[in-house]
Amino acid sequence: AQKVTQAQTEISVVEKEDVTLDCVYETRDTTYYLFWYKQPPSGELVFLIRRNSFDEQNEISGRYSWNFQKSTSSFNFTITASQVVDSAVYFCALSEARGQNFVFGPGTRLSVLP
């Protein structure tokens, strides 16, 4: 069965600090997709990134970057120079290539203090 673990329940940082959110996944599939979503206090889940299992290149988008390491089954998310608006719950998720069994992790609550 597929599983996503986000060991950090809550993280607090001061504005402008860098922060990394960890995501470890389990799957028996060789082809799969990984996602990160943000859930701000308003409650609506916002898509951040999708990565397939064959693409291990790290990705950077502005202050956001993602490190995908198949060898350790991890897909970590780093926010550089954090801002108060980054405060939210962040979810890592996993999907089989067949397009079923979409699983979210438990989430990490990030608080960025001014």
Partner 1 sequence: EAGVAQSPRYKIIEKRQSVAFWCNPISGHATLYWYQQILGQGPKLLIQFQNNGVVDDSQLPKDRFSAERLKGVDSTLKIQPAKLEDSAVYLCASSYLSGSTDTQYFGPGTRLTVL
Q: Is 112 left (phi over 0), alpha (psi -120 to 50) or beta?
A: beta
Handedness of CA 46, 47, 49, 52 (dihedral sign): positive
Residues at the contact surface with partner 1, assessed by CB under 8 A = 4, 33, 35, 37, 42-47, 50, 52, 91, 93, 95-107
Cα separation, 72 vs 97, whole angstroms: 20
Least Å from the CB of residue 52 to partner 1? 8
Q: How far is the CB of 51 from partner 1 (least distance, A)?
A: 11
Query: Nearest distance from residue 107's CB to partner 1, in Å?
Result: 5
Which CB atom, from 19 or from 90, has the smaller least distance to partner 1?
Answer: 90
40 versus 69: smaller Cβ distance to partner 1: 40
* 8-state DSSP, 6: -
Nearer to partner 1, 44 or 71 (CB): 44
